Structure 1
């Protein structure tokens, strides 16, 4: 297909894709989640931001060499082979569709704030499924419409969040902050505990690299979009959290179910803050689902091109792997149905734990790939080749990702590893099929050898030539 028709994302749209995927629904509860640890959690957030920016820069360097759809999968496969590439694609794919189900469930509460009524499981299920499939329809329409939805939703959620963050600084009261460190133990322990909650705030930093095949001038724009999107998200996260900490009294913030709503009410009075924040949350989650729906199709598409995922994932229309969108939508819908109709909250929680570990596997392999490319002397793969700087960034990104794994907790790692290893069966099946096809092709193209035929005696001399005469 013509490159002009498939590469629809410019720098602005790619940046919105990164920001839209990073900023989902979790930001609206984040300040209350870390408030029990004190303001040391703001220090933890700053440290995590440095690691996220380093990871963003690493993805930008890798995308300069490999501006192809699949991002982390592509880098892992070239550095470490098919199996590592498959593990990256499998983990990322798992994370996306389970996360989509979690986002769809999260949006239900905010919709009830905007449209009051008596909730029921049937109504909640309908809202959650609608939240899953409306973004899927935008994906079916093609990358042009994905970019439009992503740009609009990012602007609509970025403006109110940034407004609260900036205006909140004018209402900032240090007396609301509480102590630097709350609870027993050291401040360092409190920072680590807060970091464990904040760790996944930056999942989505790889979004532009994952869709590099649909970005115009990807060698240049993927890295820029990744860094700009990550920094933009960090500004909203950090300023927003500081504003809430400074406008809502600490004892109230610790118990808050809607910290941004409480901050709006504290700044302007009244009780309308909940409606404003609920509207921003709905827009934010819809935008995140729009971007993550595309991500859920990109990784298996890239792996299918190399024969590591089933061939139907190659089905593509208007720049979007449509089969991958449908597959992720069906799986996410199934989880949502399980959550509401069967009441199997335990099953759903286990799968969410799996995603927290699954998100780190592609990051770890991508950062490791960068280290490998540098140490093996293949400077051309990570242009511009300033070895010391790039190696420092790669090691920082690796350390950040390793911290993500450690922060996931024992339960998440245990469940995640089991699910990761379950993918080995899929890899074995696809590898066996590739081997069989390769052997068939070799058999069909290899010329026959003498051993393949019965020996035929040469013709008699009298029959071969006329008698000799003088």
Structure 2
């Protein structure tokens, strides 16, 4: 087997899943969910359950069609090239919009050490764009280089989260008075839907192995194992870390913080420990950015090879890197960051969380509909569709509507695909 074409084994594939999930989401989510109190806890449980259902559908599809280049190609095979294009393009939108917010989050944590990075909205935007392009250059070296970097950063990024878990365990063993000092708003059913969408954003990425199946050895086996292992471990970690921080801190302080995890550690262990956590959080977000930059090239590559986009979009370098698609996505992500310098950081974070979640949900809906058409895991597929529509409703009219508009921008490329000719790698 050519390991240049399929460089990812089980561990690299699992690192892709875990690395794609553990990034900006968990390091901003305590602040975003703090106002929801106990409703936020319920939102985590619902989001993890919904993600698990969708993940099971995705891995069943991957096992049924191991020769497919990924989940988008499976949707195209089951539903036809045009629906496959729409769901794949929407997912591509979610990838580069996620890269914009991940880069901004990384800069916010790096600014703990060097404040000029985020001293003004313009400085923060320029720093985020620079980071996007540094990671893009790494990915231009090939999937193997990106995968090795992903494994390294995945190991390092777990350190601050493990530290938080140990702190929370110490609180519980010591009587838990830290939690009693900060009463939380009670569960409110009316707030569950918007809280669910925010929590679900932090879980987006569990489909990473399914999307990049073409790069994984023995995909029928390893995609399933990597997806479920990554989701279960990461989901449990998220629930413990985010809920524990929210219960042990004043909600107002968390909501106002640009680095809520570092704030939590600093509050209880001092400034030095807070700085250490901020450093590891920056590593986590940069590693997450690496995984998503990889996917921003893999998504259109798989679509081009599946015949739903013009073949020239799938042109690759000698290292089998889809250069044009990779560069185009980084350009768009950069424009998105720079065009929002007038928006407050908190407002941008909230909107981008919802847009990314909404755009990714179209792929999940498409995968579940594909499973219904193919007669695969139909009860799970129906449950996945219901959950996805619920989360889409929670994203709001603005984010959900914009995700639909951006999805439709792929139509001109679809009309051009028939005239496109295959272009060999150079």
Offset, 1:319: 4.0
- Name the counterpart of 1:357: 358
Match of 1:238 in 2: 239
1:215 partnered with 2:238:
no
**Is 1:394 aligned with 2:381?**
yes
Tell me what 2:263 maps to: 262
Q: Does 1:93 align with 2:95?
A: no
Q: 8 Å contact 2:103–2:132 — kept in the other structure? A: yes
Distance in 2 separating the partners of 1:399 and 1:54: 11
Tell me the alpha carbon deviations over residues 86-126 of structure 1, each in whole angstroms, 9 at most, x when there is no partner. 10221112221222122222322222111244835665444
Aligned to 2:52: 53
So what's the TM-score if we normalise by structure 2?
0.88
The answer on 1:427 being equivalent to 2:414 is yes
- 1:256 Cα deviation from its structure 2 partner: 4.4
Tell me the residue number matched to 1:284.
284
Q: Which of 388, 395, 410 lines up with 1:408 in the alignment?
A: 395
1:361-413: CA deviations, max 9, x gaps? 11100011112211xxxxxxx5xxxxxxx333222222222222111111112
Alpha-carbon separation, structure 2, partners of 1:126 and 1:258: 19
Q: Distance in 1 between matches of 2:227 and 2:20?
A: 11
Question: Where does the alignment leave 5 or more consecutive residues of structure 1 unmatched?
Answer: 375-381, 383-389, 438-470
Q: Aligned pair 1:21/2:20, yes or no?
A: yes
1:150 aligns with 2:150: yes
Shift in CA distance, 37/348, structure 1 to aligned 2, threshold 3 Å: closer
Task: Map 1:182-221; keep pairs closer than 5 Å.
Answer: 187-221=188-222
Moved more, 241-250 or 138-147: 241-250
The aligned counterpart of 1:175 is: 180
CA distance in 2, matches of 1:274, 1:315: 45
Distance of aligned partners of 1:198 and 1:58 in 2 relative to their CA distance in 1, 3 Å threshold: same
> In structure 1, what is the equivalent of residue 424 of structure 2?
none
2:227 match: 226
Q: Distance in 2 between matches of 1:309 and 1:223?
A: 27
In the alignment, structure 1 residue 337 sits paired with structure 2 residue 342: no
Give the RMSD, CA atoms, in angstroms.
2.6
Pick closer, same or farther for the CA change 1:192–1:303 going to 2, 3 Å: closer
Q: Is the 8 A contact 1:304 1:311 kept in 2?
A: yes
After TM superposition, the score normalised by the length of structure 1 is 0.80
Cα distance change of structure 1 residues 81 and 179 upon mapping to structure 2, 3 Å threshold: same
Query: Which residue of 2 is the match for residue 114 of structure 1?
Result: 113
Q: Shift of residue 139 of structure 1?
A: 1.3
Distance 1:23 1:403 in 2: 23
Distance 1:93 1:256, change over 3 A: closer
Q: CA deviation at 1:345?
A: 7.5
Structure 1 window deviating more from structure 2 (355-364 vs 308-317): it is 308-317
The 10-residue stretch of structure 1 (252-261 or 230-239) with the greater mean CA deviation from structure 2 = 252-261
Q: 1:130 to 1:246 in 2, by over 3 A?
A: same
The answer on whether the counterparts of 2:196 and 2:394 sit within 8 Å (CA) in structure 1 is: yes
Tell me which stretches of 4 or more aligned residues in structure 1 moved more than 6 Å.
344-352
Shift in Å, 1:33 = 1.8
Structure 1 residue 154: Cα displacement: 0.9
SS at match of 2:410: helix
Residues 97, 356 of structure 2: 8 Å contact kept: yes
Task: Please give the alpha-carbon distance, in whole angstroms, between the structure 1 residues aligned to 2:324 and 2:252.
Answer: 49
Q: Deviations over 1:158-187 (max 9, x none)?
A: 1221221233221142414524616xxxx3
1:466 alignment partner in structure 2: none
Q: Secondary structure at the match of 2:183?
A: coil
**Do the aligned partners of residues 135 and 69 (structure 1) sit closer, same or farther apart at CA in structure 2, a change above 3 Å counting?**
farther
Q: Which residue of 2 aligns with 1:459?
A: none
Which protein, 1 or 2, shows the higher relative CO under an 8 Å CA cutoff with sep ≥ 6?
2
Give CA deviations for 1:193-246 in whole Å, capped at 9, x if unaligned.
Answer: 421321222111110011111111111000110111111211221110132134
- Give per-residue Cα distances to partners, 1:28-86, cap 9 Å, x unaligned: 22122222222232122112111111211211111112235642211211111011111
**Following TM superposition, by how much is the alpha carbon of 1:250 offset from its aligned partner in structure 2, in angstroms?**
4.7
- Structure 2 counterpart SS, 1:279: helix
Question: Does the CA-based 8 Å contact 1:214-1:319 persist in structure 2?
Answer: no
The CA deviation at 1:293 is 0.9
Are the aligned partners of 1:354 and 1:419 in contact in 2 as well (CA < 8 Å)?
no
For 2:410 and 2:85, the matched residues in 1 are separated by 9
Structure 1 position 272 matched with structure 2 position 259: no
With over 3 angstroms needed to count, the CA separation of the structure-2 counterparts of 1:117 and 1:4, relative to structure 1, is closer
The answer on whether the counterparts of 1:59 and 1:206 sit within 8 Å (CA) in structure 2 is: yes
User: Cα gap change, 1:252/1:121 in structure 2, threshold over 3 Å: closer, same or farther?
Assistant: closer
Aligned to 1:4, the other structure's residue is in SS state coil
Structure 2 gaps, min length 5: 422-426
For residues 352 and 428 of structure 1, what CA distance do their matches in structure 2 show?
Answer: 31
1:69–1:210: 8 Å Cα contact kept in structure 2? no
Distance 1:373 1:166, change over 3 A: farther
Q: Are 2:33 and 1:34 equivalent residues in the alignment?
A: yes
User: What are the equivalent positions in structure 2 for 1:54-69 lying under 5 Å apart?
Assistant: 54-68=53-67
- Specify the SS of the correspondent of 2:112: helix
Q: SS where residue 309 of structure 1 aligns?
A: coil
Query: How many residues are treated as equivalent by the alignment?
Result: 412
